[in-house]
Amino acid sequence: MAMETSTRPDTHAPSAEGEMLVPAMFQNLIGYHLRVAQETSFQAFARAAGKADLKPGWYSLLTVLAERESMTPSELSRICGRDRSTLTSSLKALSHRGLIERRPNPDDQRSYSVRLTENGRGMQKQLHAIAVVYDRRLDEIAGKDKAVLIAVLGRIAATFGMPQDC
């Protein structure tokens, strides 16, 4: 079936049973392959991070914060593509653990801004290191097709990532 698995075709029983044979109806659906690839690779990252007692879900939050002096929850929500109500609890946890700090916005009593603490920056760096390791494997897998892959994925995100309707 083409697709040379390349690495060790016989050690530690890699074939076996579980390999998740693709249902025929999904065979030709990009969405299916996209989903499976994303889920499996993210779970690998999450397992590695979890083993080091790091919360994989915090990675993007911390990273986005690492690139800006400070942001409001709503800005973070837009950039990370998570609902504001989701961020409420994440930010509560991050702040509880001293990874971020909040400070009131003097111009708007409803709002506040968050920024990384030193600890938060440290955790971001650790998570980023793990992410980079996993992404190197993705690089190898993509090989010469990396640029095409990223371009296509970018177009998908741009097309479907619009506000609501279309």
Partner DNA sequence: GCAAGGTAATTTGATATCAAACTATCTTGC
Partner DNA sequence: GCAAGATAGTTTGATATCAAATTACCTTGC
Q: Which residues in this chain contact its own copies in the complex, by CB under 8 A?
A: 2-3, 5, 14, 16-21, 23-26, 29-45, 60, 63-64, 66-67, 78-79, 81, 128, 131-132, 134-135, 137-139, 141-142, 145-163
Tell me if 58 sits within 8 A of 131, measured CB to CB.
no
d(CA 136, CA 21): 26
Place of tokens 């955790």: 123
Kindly state the tokens that stand for 21. Answer: 């044979």
Containing 115, the helix (H) or strand (E) segment is: strand 112-116
Among the residue ranges 21-29, 75-83, 116-124, 139-147, the one whose residues contact DNA (CB under 7 A): 75-83
Between 106 and 166, name the residue whose CB sits nearer to its own copies: 166
**Which is closer to DNA, CB of 6 or CB of 164?**
164
Choose between 2 and 25: whose C-beta lies nearer to DNA. 25
- As a whole number of angstroms, the distance between CA 159 and CA 87 comes to 24
Binding residues vs DNA (CB under 7 A): 47, 55, 57-58, 72-75, 81-93, 108-112
